[in-house]
Chain A
Amino acid sequence: MNYLIPETLDQALRLISSQRNAKLIAGGTDLSVQIADSLISPEILVDISGLEELKGIEEKNGFLSLGAATTIDELVSSSILPHCLVQGAKSIGSPQIRNIGTLGGNICNASPCGDTLTPLIALGGILVLVSSSARRKVRLEDFFIGPKMTVCADNEILTEVLIEKDYLQGRSAFRMTGKRSGQVISQVNVAIWLEAGKSREIEKIRAAVGSVAPVPLRLKRVEQALKGRAVHERLLKEVSELINEEIKPISDVRATDDYRRRVTVTLFRDALEEALQGFN
């Protein structure tokens, strides 16, 4: 295996479009384990974790821009990010993993249970994918096409994630459950962003769930059902049924499908309640 460390984004783009069987690496916290387990065998690793073009959290042109090489720990420590994204970032791995793992890595690793994915879908996250010849934007909810599969081409690099500043208004919350409280992979995770009136009537809402379908899922029918209505017990029962119709969990090493169904509803209600607080 060869390990290359480009100094600029242009160099990195040239490398991945000219070399066969090259794989991008940032923190490497997922990738190094996949390589050690021989699940993948790239001939060349192109390390983009040091590229200045991919770093930092800043406001520009009506968007919040998060560089793809921003570490998970930098997300946790940020004071300007929406709450659900900070909560999601906090629940990833351990301090050691958050110190080197990156946002772009969590996204491109494309695990259905990634803990930044549901928050970013709830926040309307837009990915910027760059190749040597083009630059395109893809909504995060359209990015995943299956477990570990995305629409990102071999010659593209995710450079940044954009969040429209409108989503800095409103409130958001994230919930996950795992087998213990630290250093664990989500059995289910839920993120909700919303704006509401004083009597808990929901004006705008976006919701997403993870680890209960082949890809992180935006709950569009649930959003429709909640929009314009005040949250009360009868509505929540209706929503619980819709959630169960929208998700398609499987049983695996981390949890059974039945457990995931029950927990998704509970986590959704918890997250909704937290996001609604402050509008009361």
Chain B
Amino acid sequence: MHLEFICNGKKVSVDVPADMRALDLIRDVMGLTGTKEGCARGECGACTIIVNGKAVNSCLMYAVKLKGKEVFTIEGLSEESGKLHPLQEAFLEEGAVQCGFCTPGMIMSAKALLDRNPRPNEEEIEEAISGNICRCTGYAKIVKAVTRAGLGNNHG
């Protein structure tokens, strides 16, 4: 099936099999391997991407559902110059990364939150990342990092 959509600000035009997942389109066809496959059944959040402003599990979504949508993956956060997104900076500053496998999904869930609620409190952050599992269990630093990125929004 043919579909066109916007990914990380660029127009994508591609043919996909009907049963292909959005996750496989992003990783295997488009080569954007920052989005991870963890559980493959919507429980771990490692595959989180943003579609029309909402965080979703790309493992549960058929690729054809991206037709006409605006999609962001972790690769779309930093600028072309290499300048990192404030969330990425905050994760580095707070040491919110251990093995790193959950990090792209965590950051995408956090971005969806900050885009609609620029200065979230701890409870709102925990709620927003409740669908993302970190098996290194580094949640405290992840919450601190998102808080930090939010506080940055106050000054910017």
Task: Write the residues of chain A forming the contact surface with B, with a CB cutoff of 8 angstroms.
Answer: 1-3, 5, 25, 27-29, 32-33, 35-36, 45, 47, 49, 73, 93-97, 99-100, 182-183
Contact = CB atoms under 8 A, between A and B. Distances in A.
B47 to A, nearest CB: 9
B151 interface: no
Contacts of B57: 29, 94, 96-97, 100
Nearest to A2: B18
Given A3-B18, A3-B19, A95-B130, A47 B65 contact: yes
A183 B55 CA distance: 15
Interface stretch (B27-35, B38-46, B76-84, B94-102): B38-46
Contacts of A93: 42, 131
Nearest to B19: A1
A1 B18 contact: yes
A161 to B, nearest CB: 22
A3 B127 CA distance: 33
Contact of B54 (A5, A32, A73): A73
18 contacts: A1-B18, A27-B60, A28-B60, A28-B61, A29-B57, A93-B131, A94-B42, A94-B57, A95-B127, A96-B45, A96-B48, A97-B60, A97-B131, A99-B54, A100-B61, A182-B130, A183-B131, A183-B133
Nearest to A29: B60
Nearest to B55: A96
Give the size range of B's interface with the partner: 20 to 34
B62 interface: yes
Contacts of A29: 42, 57, 60
Given A28-B60, A32-B21, A182-B131, 8 more contacts: A27-B60, A28-B65, A33-B60, A45-B18, A94-B130, A96-B55, A97-B60, A183-B43
Given A95-B127, A96-B48, A97-B42, A3 B60 contact: no
Nearest to A4: B18
Nearest to B129: A95
B109 A96 contact: yes
6 pairs of A and B residues whose beta carbons are closest in the complex: A94-B131, A182-B130, A3-B18, A99-B54, A1-B19, A96-B57
Contacts of A25: 62
A148 B62 CA distance: 23
A223 B110 CA distance: 44
Contacts of B42: 29, 33, 93-94, 96-97
B64 interface: yes
Contacts of B67: 5
Interface in B52-79: 54-57, 60-62, 64-65, 67
A100 B56 contact: yes
A100 B21 CA distance: 15
Contacts of A96: 42, 45, 48, 55-57, 60, 109, 131
A97 B57 CA distance: 7
Contacts of A27: 60
A32 B55 contact: no
A95 B19 contact: no
